[in-house]
Every structure is written in structure tokens, then in C-alpha cells.
Amino acid sequence: MTVHAIIGGTGLTQLEGLEIHQALTLDTPYGAPSADILRGGYAGRDVLFLARHGQPHRIAPHQVNYRANLWALKQAGARAIVAVNAVGGIHAAMGAGHFCVPHQIIDYTAGRAHTFFEGKLDHVTHVDFSHPYDEALRARLIAALQAEGAAFSSHGVYGCTQGPRLETAAEILRMERDGCDLVGMTGMPEAALARELALPYACLALVVNPAAGKTSGPITMAEIERVLEQGMGTIKAVLARVLSA
């Protein structure tokens, strides 16, 4: 049976309803993951859960040990990964509270340990990353969002920035010209590392704020937290549908 792993981002440091059977404290060749990997039951299925930013939420996006997280999930038995990400909306359709299942990603990060294929290698390895998200897993997320009656987009380009600061309005304009619909800080190198480990990977993104320059007022954490709280019910329902499909 496929064992799904869920990587929870901002607002999803714990999965309410998860019947925890085991907390796995794992070490990897790349150090420790962000938190214990929780093995348990959710929606009648075995599942692994990892809080990307730690538990409690304290690891900044640029300091997440993405290699350790992905390696540990595979070590724990993950065969597919659904990543939950809080993002900013660039495209006009991506208002606060809107969901998106992105189909492409552009990496604007720098200095992150982004590959397993480095150091003393027997040979250089290149992986195909033309289509970064698994289409079968994306289809299941889309079907679940439709079944929940959520406002969502079935396609989108995720632009991943370094963080932890939010972007300038000029940076968002550049990203918009590049074709980005969403902006976040944790989509890479997570997606690429999953591909290197041959783990099907897809993203469920919740827009929690308009990107810089897309609103007349400042971006506030209070507003982001409000949208996160409102969206959590849909996120959990969608995850339950994906797992039970």
C-alpha cells in the first residue's frame, strides 16, 4: 500500500485528527529533520506527518533542513508526499483564501543545500525536473478540492523566494513578468529533493495574503493567521479525501 507523507507548513504544525501510533526520532546523513516524524492513522489510512518548520513553529524557511526532512520521510517508509504551503497571491485570481495546486515552480532561492548529488560521487547525476509535480497526485488534490466546493485553481506557477522577509513590490512585479502566480518560501528545494528520491510529490497551496504591491495596505501577520485559521478545515478535509481515494 502507498504510504502518504504530509509535510505541514505554516499553520499546520500538527494534524488534528491524526491518531499517533509512533513518533520517530530519526537521524540522517544530512542531520536531523525539523521534528519527529509522526506515524499514525488519518482518514482510515496509514500516514506520516512532518512539521516543516518544527514543533513549535520556529525554523525559518531558509534554515529548514530540507535534505534531512526528505531523507527521513523516505527512511520512514513514505512513498508519496503532499506538501501544504501558505503562499502569497500574485495573479488576480489568487486572492486570500484561494487554493491552488501548482503545476510549475521557479526557484529564486540562494545558498540552500539543494541536492543529494554532491561530494564524492561515483558519477554525476541529473534528474529530469521538467514537470516538478506528480500529475496523478495533483489530479487527486484537484478532485478533492472540487468535492469540497473550494475556490481553487488547478494550475499555477509557484515562485520560491529566500525569505524570511517578505518580498518588495518590485520583486513581485519581476516575478509576475516571469509568469509566477504565487509566491512562497518553502517550495524549493523540497520539490527537487523529492524528485531525486523518486518520491511522487504535489503541493496544496493556500493563499494567505496578496503579494507585495497587490494591496493598498501593509501585509500583516494578523490577517495571514486569520486566513490560515479559516482555511484549515478545508485543508484537512482535502487531505482526508486524498488519503482515502
Specify the DSSP class assigned to residue 1: -
Q: Residue 13, annotated ligand binder?
A: no
What is the distance between the alpha carbons of residues 191 and 109, in angstroms, rounded to a whole number? 13
| Pair 30, 65: CB distance under 8 Å | yes
The answer, yes or no, to whether residue 157 has pLDDT greater than 50, is yes
Q: Residue 56, annotated ligand binder?
A: no
Residue type, 181: D
Q: How far is CA 164 from CA 59, 71, 151, 154, in A?
A: 10, 24, 28, 27
Partner residues linked to 40 by β-bridges: 20, 47
Instruction: Give the residue-averaged pLDDT of 181-198.
Output: 98
Q: How far is CA 141 from CA 105, 156, 209, 218, 227, in A?
A: 17, 14, 22, 32, 20
Place of cell 494550475: 155
What is the distance between the alpha carbons of residues 212 and 172, in angstroms, rounded to a whole number? 6
| Pair 150, 210: CB distance under 8 Å | no
User: Is the preceding peptide bond at 132 cis, omega within 30 degrees of 0?
Assistant: no
The answer, yes or no, to whether residue 228 has pLDDT greater than 70, is yes
Q: Residue 185, annotated ligand binder?
A: yes
Residue type, 135: E
Instruction: Give the residue-averaged pLDDT of 35-55.
Output: 90
pLDDT at 33: 96
pLDDT tier at 1 (50, 70, 90 boundaries)? very low
pLDDT in tens, 91-110: 999 999 999 999 999 999 99
pLDDT at 11: 60
Domains in the chain (CATH in brackets) are: 4-116+130-244 (3.40.50.1580)
Place of cell 516543516: 52
Instruction: Give the residue-averaged pLDDT of 31-39.
Output: 94
Q: Residue 209, annotated ligand binder?
A: yes
Q: Residue 10, annotated ligand binder?
A: yes
Q: How far is CA 136 from CA 101, 103, 107, 182, in A?
A: 12, 12, 23, 22
pLDDT tier at 135 (50, 70, 90 boundaries)? very high
Q: Cβ–Cβ contacts within 10 Å for residue 20, how many?
A: 14
Residue type, 94: M
Q: Residue 69, annotated ligand binder?
A: no
pLDDT tier at 45 (50, 70, 90 boundaries)? confident
H/E stretch holding 152 reads: strand 152-153
Q: Residue 53, annotated ligand binder?
A: yes
